[in-house]
Structure 1
Amino acid sequence: MRVLEVFLVFLRLGLTSFGGPVAHLGYFRAEVVQRRAWLTEQGYADVVALAQFLPGPASSQTGFAVGLLRAGWPGALAAWLGFTLPSALLMTAFALGVTRVGDVTGAGWLAGLKVAAVAVVAQAVAGMWSTLVTDRVRVALALGVAALLVTLPGAGWQIAVLLACAVIGWRVLPAGKVQEGHLPPVPVSRQTGVLLLLTCGAGLVILPLLAPMSPAWALLDGTYRAGALVFGGGHVVLPLLETGFVPQFLGHETFIAGYGAANAVPGPLFTFATYLGAAQGAVSPALGAVLATVGVFLPGLLLMAGALPLWSALSARPAARSALAGVNAGVVGLLLAALYSPVFTGGIRGPRDLALALLGYAALTAGRVPAWAVVLGCALLGQLIL
């Protein structure tokens, strides 16, 4: 059954995907492109490119889209639940005081997980480079984007350079042929897609009107607004959530403690909102966790489901294919920049870390060891030697 298969694949990813959204995209590619061939390399790159343009959690949106393309709406829900559930439960438990993680900053296993992220992202960049960066123009775009984003990080620059790549691709690159089966049929009509996009926008108008009625509506409004307005991944959501929760629902120290825990668990960083929903005292912890989780993820998922059928139709046109070829080269450059910072700079502290990262990369490429096994192996070795 495809839906169960999607759920189990993304549940395993949710249990083993450390390292942030860029690393998550590497883990996803290893599973859905290399191992299972649910999407072609080009099709996966198209989905990632769309996720980079939309506000919201890029890795969760990519997984949601993969599930939607693989098994329809049930598959989309299964992919999101599988990937989100482990970290959401861990963050809820932490908020309730069930777990006592303490300060894990110097833990060897956590250092090993950061090293594993370096190997996984490096493999993803190398694989996507060989497929998507195929001529001098695309090499220039990819390296130019990487150079710019290394020196000028930030979500605003990401969007700007990808738009520039689209224009350059449209004017310079050949369209190429749309391969048969390039992207599976999207089980959402264009009319439904437009309705979903309007629904997402309506939430930004209606929820603020409902927020004064009860703490539950206020909680949903704060998390929904944060999820709808974030470009650039999970870390960017921090100030928006702080505005919605501190001091209205909880204190600053409690807020920061949860953010530290969110960086130590697998899966999407957006489940930091789950912790906040469980830790606040205005509604019950269980209801708060559910409302905050749904609120922070819902707008991004609505945007992805609404934009995907429009994106699929647009990308089949020659001019759009040329623009998308430029964007895909830019996405490779974006991942290359992220491989340096924050993945490499955050994970490699010395010769031992680098040696373990090289062994992990060798296992992924030459040994063809599954990404999840490399992650677990690096965590174990990190606990022993780092």
Structure 2
Amino acid sequence: MKSNESLADSHRGDRNPWSIFLIFLRLGLTSFGGPVAHLGYFRDEFVTRRHWLSERSYADLVALCQFLPGPASSQVGMALGLSRSGYAGALAAWAGFTLPSAVVLILFALGISNHGDVLSPGALHGLKVVAVAVVAQAVWGMARNLCTGVLRVSIMAVAACVVLLVPSAWGQVGTIVAAGIAGLLVFKPTQDGAHDPLPITVSHRAGVIWLTLFFALLAGLPLLAQIVPNPVTAMVDAFYRAGSLVFGGGHVVLPLLQAAVVPSGWVSNEAFLAGYGAAQAVPGPLFTFAAFLGASMATAPSGWIGGMICLLAIFVPSFLLVVGALPFWERLRHSLRTQAALAGVNAAMVGILLAALYQPVWISAIHQPQDFGLAVVAFVALMFWKLPPWLVVVGSGAVGWLLGAVL
């Protein structure tokens, strides 16, 4: 068994940011299956094969990124890049893992906008229907893991009802805050066992600076959007806020983004759901859905510029949080109060996603018996046949096209 020191010193050639980019580019091109699958790919690549860190250190890093808001798999990737080549390594890891799916989704958005007649309405509707199955699968899986017990289920149900009654971004933020307070009051978690320290060095001073910048942007961007009212500041504010408040996985970003872009008229609900369905068919993080939305904007900037603005805006909070929290993780991971509040927040996020399953996903996609039947088959294919998501998405689009041609 190699020591931690020898594990850290192996594969020295991987410390070049370009090498890190190429390693993560391969993962970004091949990592289908969602955040849980991504974490499995990372474990195989960086713990088993490359020995960048130990099994316990990797488990602790995953725990940190699941504790923070944002896309856990992307944050783990950033932290792994940071451990090898500092901030340049973190940027290289993010770019390699993220850009492949972002580019594909921007191209898909441009294709719908400029050549919408090439993709039939039936195929687009099939993508909307498969979104029902994907979100239902996410709700089911998250509820099994995060809503164990009567108290967590109750918080989930209340959160779903509140979000449906107060359908706005601020209603969702208020629900998250209230759930954290409720978790602090009602949950009594137990202390975790032994662990290895993370092989990542960020000073406490740097951590404070990054966290201060995170909160300054979270508070300041809404003010900036009011003082300088233009589409760019509004887009950056909306997508930064969505990336800052998502607990529990990439699928939970759906209601936050829908509340930001559909009521404002930036993106139609039909395009939103079609893009969300297409996002299931590409590898890499689900947060790259932001690139599709930015490229689909009804107001300038859109296209490539809009897609990259929204992509950067939604991922910046993830970087600020992970590098800012690393120096304080040893203290946070032992805080039972923090764990209790997070338990409440996680249960509420399942409720928010459950509400999104009804509005906008279900009511926008399920209009006829054949829509319901296709959604059921897609759900079974994902949950029980264990087919890859991209295959289910492609198949649903094809069935939608056939149904549109026949009926």
TM-score (norm: length of structure 1): 0.68
SS in 2 for 1:268: helix
Work out the CA distance in 2 between the residues paired with 1:44 and 1:148: 30
Percent identity (aligned): 24
Letter of the aligned partner of 2:177 in structure 1?
Answer: L
**Among 96, 100, 110, which residue is 2:115 paired with?**
100
Cα contact 2:137–2:383 (8 A) shared by 1: yes
Task: Please provide the CA RMSD for this pair.
Answer: 4.4
SS in 2 for 1:170: helix
Moved more, 305-314 or 31-40: 31-40
Cα contact 1:65–1:305 (8 A) shared by 2: yes
Letter of the aligned partner of 1:67 in structure 2?
Answer: G
Matching of residue 363 in structure 1 with residue 386 in structure 2: no
Work out the CA distance in 1 between the residues paired with 2:110 and 2:299: 6
Deviation (angstroms), 1:301: 4.4
Deviation (angstroms), 1:343: 1.5
1:233 paired residue number: 256
**Among 79, 84, 88, which residue is 2:102 paired with?**
84
1:109 paired residue number: 123
Deviation (angstroms), 1:130: 1.3
SS in 1 for 2:387: coil
Moved more, 233-242 or 147-156: 233-242
2:355 paired residue number: 337
Give per-residue Cα distances to partners, 1:281-337, cap 9 Å, x unaligned.
9xxx97x56874576446444444455537845354111111111111111111111
Cα contact 2:159–2:352 (8 A) shared by 1: yes
Matching of residue 152 in structure 1 with residue 156 in structure 2: no
2:289 paired residue number: 268
Deviation (angstroms), 1:50: 3.9
Aligned residues: 336
Give per-residue Cα distances to partners, 1:224-255, cap 9 Å, x unaligned.
4554456763345449998xxxxxxxxxxxx7
Matching of residue 385 in structure 1 with residue 403 in structure 2: yes
Work out the CA distance in 2 between the residues paired with 1:222 and 1:149: 22
Work out the CA distance in 2 between the residues paired with 1:121 and 1:37: 26
CA distance change for structure 1 residues 333 and 291 in 2, over 3 Å: closer, same or farther? closer
1:23 paired residue number: none
Letter of the aligned partner of 2:208 in structure 1?
Answer: V
For structure 1, the 5+ residue unaligned runs are 17-26, 52-57, 213-217, 243-254
CA distance change for structure 1 residues 347 and 7 in 2, over 3 Å: closer, same or farther? farther
Moved more, 152-161 or 264-273: 264-273
Deviation (angstroms), 1:138: 0.8
Cα contact 1:119–1:361 (8 A) shared by 2: yes
Deviation (angstroms), 1:352: 0.8
Cα contact 1:364–1:370 (8 A) shared by 2: yes
2:17 paired residue number: none
Deviation (angstroms), 1:161: 1.5
1:68 paired residue number: 78
SS in 2 for 1:369: coil
Deviation (angstroms), 1:100: 2.1
Work out the CA distance in 2 between the residues paired with 1:47 and 1:291: 24
Give per-residue Cα distances to partners, 1:118-164, cap 9 Å, x unaligned.
11111111111112111111111111111222222221121111211
Work out the CA distance in 2 between the residues paired with 1:149 and 1:181: 38
TM-score (norm: length of structure 2): 0.65
Matching of residue 143 in structure 1 with residue 157 in structure 2: yes
SS in 1 for 2:34: helix
Cα contact 1:87–1:268 (8 A) shared by 2: yes
Give per-residue Cα distances to partners, 1:322-360, cap 9 Å, x unaligned.
111111111111111111111111221121111111111
CA distance change for structure 1 residues 42 and 355 in 2, over 3 Å: closer, same or farther? farther
Cα contact 2:78–2:93 (8 A) shared by 1: yes
Work out the CA distance in 2 between the residues paired with 1:43 and 1:333: 26
Aligned positions of 1:317-332 closer than 5 A = 317-332=335-350
SS in 1 for 2:367: coil
1:173 paired residue number: 187
1:249 paired residue number: none
Deviation (angstroms), 1:273: 3.6
1:121 paired residue number: 135
Work out the CA distance in 2 between the residues paired with 1:180 and 1:335: 33
Matching of residue 376 in structure 1 with residue 399 in structure 2: no
Letter of the aligned partner of 1:352 in structure 2?
Answer: Q
CA distance change for structure 1 residues 30 and 278 in 2, over 3 Å: closer, same or farther? same
1:192 paired residue number: 206
Cα contact 1:263–1:269 (8 A) shared by 2: no
Letter of the aligned partner of 1:383 in structure 2?
Answer: W
1:346 paired residue number: 364
CA distance change for structure 1 residues 94 and 351 in 2, over 3 Å: closer, same or farther? closer
Matching of residue 31 in structure 1 with residue 54 in structure 2: no
Letter of the aligned partner of 2:257 in structure 1?
Answer: G
For structure 2, the 5+ residue unaligned runs are 1-13, 15-19, 45-54, 83-89, 246-254, 280-287
Work out the CA distance in 1 between the residues paired with 2:76 and 2:324: 14
Work out the CA distance in 1 between the residues paired with 2:163 and 2:60: 23
CA distance change for structure 1 residues 34 and 48 in 2, over 3 Å: closer, same or farther? same
Work out the CA distance in 2 between the residues paired with 1:356 and 1:375: 11
Deviation (angstroms), 1:109: 1.2
Work out the CA distance in 2 between the residues paired with 1:371 and 1:5: 23
SS in 2 for 1:171: helix
Deviation (angstroms), 1:260: 7.2
Letter of the aligned partner of 1:233 in structure 2?
Answer: L
